[in-house]
Amino acid sequence: MLISVSNLKKIYVSDEVVTKVLHGLTLNIESGEFVSIMGPSGSGKSTLMHILGFLDKPSSGKYYFEGQDVTKLEDEQLALLRNGKVGFVFQTFNLLPRTSVFDNVKLPLLYSKMPDEEKDERVKKVINAVDMSHRENYFSNQLSGGEQQRVAIARALVNNPAIIFADEPTGNLDSVSGVQIMKILQKLNDQGKTIILVTHEIYTSEHAKRIIKIKDGRIVGDEPVMNRRIATDGEILK
Amino acid sequence: MLAVVSCFKTASQALLLNKLRSFLTMLGIVIGVAAVIIIISVGAGAQSLILAQVKSLGTNLIGVLPGKSEETGPPASVMGIVITTLTYDDAMALADKNNTPYITSVVAYAKGVATVNWRDHSVDTNISGTTNGYLETENGEVEVGRFFNKDEEKSLVKIAVLGSQVKKDLFGESDAVGQKIKIKKEAFEVIGVMKKRGTVAFQNYDDQIFVPISTAQKLLLGVDHINLIRAKIDHEEHIDQAIADVKRVLRERHDITNPADDDFSVRSAAQALDVITQITNALKYFLAAIAALSLVVGGIGIMNIMLIAVTERTREIGLRKAIGATNKNILSQFLAEAISITLIGGILGMVLGVLISLFISTGAHLLSYEWDFIISPASIVLALSISFLVGLVFGTYPARRASHLDPIEALRYE
């Protein structure tokens, strides 16, 4: 079992105001799955993703990652997990401006123990995997949105993580670019990578193999996708 | 070690993205470090100049001043206190080989200030009532005419020898020897003009008129005492012995049995050198400390810019954390940026400071001053470690702030 979560709760307390975001979620995700976490904004899906991706800590409940209880880990150890076990793809790409594609993709390796001589080779390999080799020395701000997101996926892949978290990866893209991104994610999943896609669009979520629906901090649906969409050129995301 | 290198590599990339800003931020440190280096170097150069001049007077000289004083402190006469315990006969006793075998020559001074007239020219200058021993003891040289002799120094004869500056001010290019000048309404015949000697250790040797000491005491100053005795010792090794002789002779003459009751003090040129070194050192370090203040100002500028940078790069910090940077990584990154700014600024300031110091010493040499170009390794080490420290001190707060950002908030920051 890759991810095993039980009775996960998240409560924010600020200025005496208590906001319950997650009300005791329980779910399991196996290695190799392609899961959509779907729900309207404010449903708690982003918070769930942040906890699953070690960016945030639950208020209570259990989270086992690869059999390890991660709720007890210190910040340093969580940073280590983020670096080695997960890759993030954000809606807003979050590439460093005025920095080359190559250096952007290499960024996570700055914090990893990978031997220096392997790093450049690894970076070139993942840039090639998202078909961006021809832009390797471009600055990230010279690229189109779709290209930027492909670079971001390469960056998420560079440490060979167990899971890719994609938070509304197509949200800022036109539909043609969006299809390309979904195609890459599906291809990665076909190669065995576990992917967790967070989205509020039913259409996008149907590219996954399994959809977990969240509403008001509770799981309201968890089922496999019957008619899975396969991203192909010419398809219009809507 | 590798981590440190990669930290500074990342830092230099960030700094290069904002070249103008990095440079302007650096400027405060550049100027501060340059100022410290220049002041220490120029101070040491000026010190070498003064010490060389004092040494040129001869390190085998001792001086006897009226009144008791601590050996390391200033003599009472410097404070304007008039003490009348030394006389011409004391000086003559010291010149006696039977009393003081190591003293080769002695000069006594009775000093004052007066207005001197020649025709319609007039100058205010120093009157040095002195003895014939001046020439030998102080290495004085006569340019034109002659100096007064042993007999004349005891008589009340009204003759004068002009310092080169006084000669120029009064007579210009015309001959002075044989002319009558008026000092305090008394007519004096000019019998000689001294060679130009310049200003040595704050004392202008050319701006004075020499008259026989008795004449000065009786006719011009109306006193019986003298202000200073200088004695030349045959060899530097005998200075301590000679000082002991002088003290013995003067105590005998003044009926002093307890050294604590001394009414005179004896100083050697070596002591004077020590005192001058102490004073100039104090000045040098005081000025350097003031210059170092600008480093603090520069440091505040760096803190300011780093805080702005942390805010501007909040999303970058969030991202770096999301992809695995620990708080420590972020802290080191921003600290490395601040330290890079101050260290590079420190190195630039050092180069600038050394160049300007070299320029100043070269200029001083061209003006034929014996000005040494001195850059002490200590001042370089000091400047660089201070720049490092400024970066560390003023970079820590912004870097801590960056490292404690919540990654989720930081990623959402617009």
Beta bridge partners of A9: A23, A60
pLDDT at B202: 66
Instruction: Summarize pLDDT for A55-105 with one digit per residue, the tens.
Output: 999 999 999 999 999 998 999 999 999 999 999 999 999 999 889 999 999
The percentage of chain A sitting over the pLDDT mark of 70, rounded to a whole number, equals: 98
Q: What is the residue-averaged pLDDT of chain B?
A: 88
Q: Which residue of B has its CA nearest to A80?
A: B324
Number of domains observed in the structure of chain A: 1
**What is the mean predicted confidence (pLDDT) over A32-51?**
93
A94 to B411: CB separation less than 8 angstroms, yes or no = yes
First-to-final CA distance of chain B: 35
Of the candidates B50, B49, B40, the residue with the CA atom closest to the CA atom of residue B364: B49
Residue B263 is predicted with a pLDDT of 87
Residue A189: alpha-carbon gap to chain centroid: 12
* Residue A124, in any domain of the structure: yes
Q: Does A84 contact B at CB distance below 8 Å? A: yes
Residue B109 confidence (pLDDT): 92
A86: in domain:
yes
Domain residues for A103?
Answer: 3-224
d(CA B152, CA B301): 71
Chain A residues within an 8 Å CB radius of B333? none
User: Do B145 and B207 form a contact (C-beta atoms < 8 A)?
Assistant: no
- Structural element, H or E, at residue B399: helix B377-403
**The predicted structure's pLDDT at residue A235:** 66
CB-CB neighbors (< 8 A) of A50 in chain B:
408
B29 residue type, one letter: I
pLDDT tens string A135-175 = 999 999 999 999 999 999 999 999 999 999 999 999 999 98
Query: What is the pLDDT, as a whole number, of residue B1?
Result: 53
* CB-based contact A76 B328, cutoff 8 Å: yes
Is A215 domain-assigned? yes
> CB B326 to CB A79 under 8 A?
yes
Paired residues of A87 in beta bridges: A164
pTM over 0.80: no
Q: Is A56 on the interface with B (CB under 8 A)?
A: yes
Which pair of structure tokens corresponds to residue A33?
Answer: 């799955």
Task: List the one residue out of B317, B293, B329, B294 whose CA is nearest residue B412.
Answer: B317
pLDDT at residue B70 in the model? 67
- Please, which pLDDT band fits residue B349 given cuts at 50, 70 and 90? very high
Q: Please judge whether B323 and A55 are an interchain contact, meaning their C-beta atoms are less than 8 angstroms apart.
A: no
- Chain A contacts of B321, Cβ < 8 Å? 55, 79, 82
Residue A80 touches chain B, beta carbons under 8 Å: yes
For residue A118, tell me if it sits in a domain: yes
Asked whether residue A234 is domain-assigned, the answer is: no
Would residue A229 count as lying in a domain?
Answer: no
Query: H-type helices in chain A, by residue range?
Result: 45-52, 75-85, 101-106, 116-129, 145-157, 175-190, 202-205
Which residue has 């309207």 as its token pair? A40
Q: What is the CATH number of the domain that holds A186?
A: 3.40.50.300
- CA of B14 vs chain A CAs: smallest distance (Å): 10
Q: Is residue A185 part of a domain?
A: yes
CA–CA dist B1, B85 (Å, integer): 72
| B373 pLDDT tier (thresholds 50, 70, 90) | confident
CB atoms within 10 A of CB B41: 24
User: Residue B153: its pLDDT value, please?
Assistant: 87
- Structure confidence by residue, pLDDT tens digits, B71-124: 666 666 666 677 888 899 998 998 888 888 999 999 999 999 999 998 888 899
Q: What is the pLDDT of residue A73?
A: 92
Q: Is B236's pLDDT higher than 60?
A: yes
Backbone dihedral angles phi then psi of residue B369, each to the nearest 5 degrees: -95, 145
Query: Both tokens of residue B2?
Result: 């590798």
Instruction: Give the total residue count for chain A.
Output: 238
Q: Describe the strand order of the beta sheet including A68-69 as a list of residue ranges.
A: A17-29, A3-14, A60-65, A68-69
* Mean pLDDT calculated for residue range B383-399: 93
To the nearest whole Å, the CA of A233 is away from the closest chain B CA by: 31
pLDDT for A166: 96
Contact of B67 with B77, CB cutoff 8 Å: yes
Q: Is the pLDDT of residue B56 over 80?
A: no
